[in-house]
Structure 1
Amino acid sequence: MALKALLRRLADGPKPAEEALVVVLPDADAARAASGLLARLADGSHRLDVVAAVSRRESAGALQPLSSLPRLQIRVPRLPTAVPVRAVLAGLRARAMVVVGAPEAFPRELARLVAGARRRGLPVYALPPDTLERLASGAEADGGFRPLSAVAAETMPAAGADFEAMVRHLARAVGIERGQGPLLDAASRRVQKTLATPPARRLLGRFVARIDTAEALSRRLGAPRTILCLGNGPTSAEPVLEQIAHDALFRVNHQWKSQGFLATPDMIFAGVKRSMRAAGRGPIGVATARKERALFAARLLEFWHGPFSYAVIEEIAAGVVPAIEGPLRPTTGAYMLAAAVALRPERIIVAGMDMFSHPAGAYPGGGPAENAYTPSHDLETDTAFIRGCLAAYEGEIATLSPAFAELALSVPAARFRLVEPEPHVSAS
């Protein structure tokens, strides 16, 4: 609680509800120039929050006409010299940054915020105020939109962007996978390399166990013949699920824990560090080697969360997962399905993978979240990945999700059979 209070004070408010694009505004003139961009990004059509970081309350006054925007938060972050910048970025849930003006002329605290974001590996972009105004008015403004960090340079559009293209790019930049920062990344890579050696495995085996193959994972789970895979969509809360027999239960992240429904999974697939911390002893499924390093940062380097075991899904399902094109990545639920296919059960039952198209909303019980993918993902990437995984499966698939059933039916030359779920008392 004390840490949350500190982060709230440093970030000048509570954590945003969604991952955030931080727009750094050194003065009132920059705030006025950025008003068109802020209005477009924070109008509720993108599933992200927009934080306007200003140096003084007077600058915030220039943004008062935008205060009713559903996704805009105006903050005056505090960066005392003794406080690491990463703590403030965490309090803002910063995942990408736009700098309006020249950082070298910024007030000290905002300059530190920008420098910290660059060190943290966030995509950071610069936009001169006059370029912003011209773009917002529909005029040409080539050359003003430029990267300030390595990951931003790697993902910049090849051609000059018009205003709407720039908005789309910035919204997607929030979803670009980043590292843990130079120190944690280096430490996690060393741990990753060390754990590959037999002596280290024997030494650390009681604290962390890496499951290297689908066969080993199947043995760990008792060779399940029927796997129930639950995403977090509305159909994951259908009461009939308690009456459907299964040998292993897979769940995604940890939001379902407080609901108490099917809350004792055999394996948790975690895509964010909060879920990795909450996942317990495991086994935990992480999508990629990069997520493995995030797991180490969340569990091994924060050892007080306790021992755990885990599997890297792109490795154990190497013959199942298709190639991924583009900067976005499949959802954690899609990787859960890849793991299930790799285990070759006779039947996979799917619920809660509603592809953000269920009329009840994104999650059980509705709530304020838009019924849409977060910036890290999109429907096209997810469906292409899931089709590729399903193409490798030869058993039965039963689903409570109409959207997933439609996706399964679109797999060309499918070797699996789509069947109706059969409710009866589970023996598991």
Structure 2
Amino acid sequence: MALRHKPRSALQRSGWVPIPFNRTILVSLAGPADLDRVEPLLAALHRERLSFLFIPGAEDVKQALIARFGDDAVIAPPWNNRLSSQAFLLTSRARLLVTLGAIDALPKSLLREAYLMGIGVAAVAADESEIDTPAAELLGFVDLWLPQAPPLEGVLTAKGVAPDRIAVLADASSLAPQSPALNRINFLMARRPPARNPLQTLIAGWLDNSTGRRILGLRAERIETLTDLKATLNQPQTILCLGNGPSSEDPALAQHPYDCLFRVNHRWATRGLYADPQVVFTGQKRTLFALRSKPIFAFQTRRAEALLVTHQIFNPFCRHMRFVTLERLDILGGLDWDGVRPTNGATMLAAAVALAPKRLVISGIDLFEDPAGAYPGDTATPNDYVVVHERTSELDFILETLEKYEGELVILSKPLAEKWEARSR
């Protein structure tokens, strides 16, 4: 039996985790005592579109986790090197890394790469020994300390940890909805990854420099203004905005001709319908090389721009691209892009409204309320927003955006149409 698991274990140690369906929270448990401590945290962090993957620090912990969550939810940590750690974090689709017990139970390289990639690291500390052990460098890789006793807060501050990186878990109420600790953890999962990679920082600087942009233009050419975007799209008179919801394949779309198509990410590419968009709104690296057509890519923010352009110019599978950054067009307002934020579908509508076509047709923006599910032909994905988006703020943003539009508006997405009609009364 042990021999049968060796190939899988070796793959995981080299960083190749079986790619999970959902984004994940990685949970490291150093010893048996951490098994009881983790339960309130798991309950507080449960989301329909998030999964947990557990990294045990001992064999008895591993067996207890397998008995509780199943073999597929328990993974071996990667080897302590940069490439294995990067592959591990990418293939596991990690949104957050939580440690219970001493953080040096994890490979140092894994903590460092999570920090550099902007994946939030939260450390739960039960006593002073779990704070004293780590080297100073490891302490710096932790974005949020969660001491389970108030006196530990003083120990952390004495070690130079800033107060805004500490949230005490004194009792069960510390993880209640809207509690400071849970709000901080949710922020770590929702935030845009900070630009900690030196190469990304360099590219971000070049993007704000005319000489740098000319060099980058060999691989990634930015459209600078809304006027330039409109001209590039040949002054569109009818824009069709398609999200990824079930109504993106509504047969009624055939009755609405258009001269410009906007789409989101790349999920639609294998469906074969409305698959030649002029603009694709995305924050996903995979979208940049998944599409064989050559659309203009639209990124939400400067930070997303730096991340995605850095990926694109150094990825041999990505071709030359043109892109526009919506934050630079000043059409999105004063949003908190470091927390919960609008979807790419919502900002797609903002761009379409700013272009002021005579006619705007919207479908596929179903707000995860269509009884047919989240996406066409997909019954497995939970019909809900991922952790970086929130239903109420999303709807408010969309409705406020549509109120600015002065042309002919056609909404084929039933959930959105009903809310727009109620708003317009």
What TM-score results when the alignment is normalised by the length of structure 1? 0.80
Work out which of the residue numbers 37, 41, 54 in structure 2 matches 1:37: 41
SS of equivalent to 1:28: coil
Q: Which amino acid in 1 is paired with 2:109? A: R
Asked whether 1:387 is paired with 2:399, we answer: yes
Give distance in 1, aligned partners of 2:25 and 2:161.
15
On the 8 A contact 1:180/1:297 being kept in 2, the answer is: no
Aligned to 1:219: 231
Once the two structures are overlaid, the 10-residue window that deviates more, 224-233 or 56-65, is 56-65
On the 8 A contact 2:15/2:84 being kept in 1, the answer is: no
Report the Cα offset of residue 341 of structure 1: 0.6
Question: After superposition, what is the alpha-carbon deviation per residue over 1:127-147, rounded to whole angstroms, capped at 9, x for unaligned?
Answer: 13589xxxxxxxx96577999
Aligned to 1:16: 20
Q: Which amino acid in 2 is paired with 1:88? A: F
Once the two structures are overlaid, the 10-residue window that deviates more, 158-167 or 353-362, is 158-167
Aligned to 1:235: 247
Please report the RMSD computed on the Cα atoms of aligned residues, expressed in angstroms: 3.4
Report the Cα offset of residue 374 of structure 1: 0.2
Give distance in 1, aligned partners of 2:66 and 2:50.
20
Q: Which amino acid in 1 is paired with 2:38? A: A
Aligned to 2:96: 96
Aligned to 2:200: 185
On the 8 A contact 1:26/1:54 being kept in 2, the answer is: yes
SS of equivalent to 2:416: helix
Give distance in 1, aligned partners of 2:249 and 2:413.
11
**In the comparison of the two structures, how many residue pairs are matched?**
388
Give distance in 1, aligned partners of 2:384 and 2:270.
23
Report the Cα offset of residue 39 of structure 1: 5.2
Aligned to 1:361: 373
1:406-417 to structure 2, matched below 5 A, reads 406-409=418-421, 411=423
Aligned to 1:305: 318
On the 8 A contact 2:222/2:324 being kept in 1, the answer is: yes
1:68-79 to structure 2, matched below 5 A, reads 73-79=73-79
Report the Cα offset of residue 183 of structure 1: 2.2
SS of equivalent to 1:174: helix
Asked whether 1:321 is paired with 2:332, we answer: yes
Asked whether 1:116 is paired with 2:113, we answer: yes
Aligned to 1:26: 30
Work out which of the residue numbers 259, 263, 269 in structure 1 matches 2:281: 269
Give distance in 2, aligned partners of 1:169 and 1:275.
29
Report the Cα offset of residue 190 of structure 1: 2.9
On the 8 A contact 2:169/2:175 being kept in 1, the answer is: no
Report the Cα offset of residue 270 of structure 1: 1.1
Once the two structures are overlaid, the 10-residue window that deviates more, 378-387 or 255-264, is 378-387
Report the Cα offset of residue 232 of structure 1: 0.5
On the 8 A contact 2:221/2:321 being kept in 1, the answer is: yes
Aligned to 1:136: none
Question: After superposition, what is the alpha-carbon deviation per residue over 1:291-314, rounded to whole angstroms, capped at 9, x for unaligned?
Answer: 111221221232541111011112
Report the Cα offset of residue 315 of structure 1: 2.4
On the 8 A contact 1:322/1:388 being kept in 2, the answer is: no
On the 8 A contact 1:122/1:151 being kept in 2, the answer is: no
Q: Unmatched 5+ residue regions in structure 1?
A: 132-139, 414-428
Give distance in 2, aligned partners of 1:384 and 1:328.
13
Q: Percent identity over the alignment?
A: 30
What TM-score results when the alignment is normalised by the length of structure 2? 0.80
Query: Structure 1 residues 176 and 206, CA, compared in 2 at 3 Å: closer, same or farther?
Result: closer
Give distance in 2, aligned partners of 1:81 and 1:298.
21
On the 8 A contact 1:28/1:60 being kept in 2, the answer is: no
Query: Structure 1 residues 15 and 184, CA, compared in 2 at 3 Å: closer, same or farther?
Result: farther
Report the Cα offset of residue 57 of structure 1: 4.1
Report the Cα offset of residue 368 of structure 1: 1.3
Give distance in 2, aligned partners of 1:143 and 1:226.
62
Query: Structure 1 residues 234 and 271, CA, compared in 2 at 3 Å: closer, same or farther?
Result: same
Asked whether 1:128 is paired with 2:125, we answer: yes
Aligned to 1:296: 309
On the 8 A contact 2:206/2:213 being kept in 1, the answer is: no
Report the Cα offset of residue 40 of structure 1: 5.4
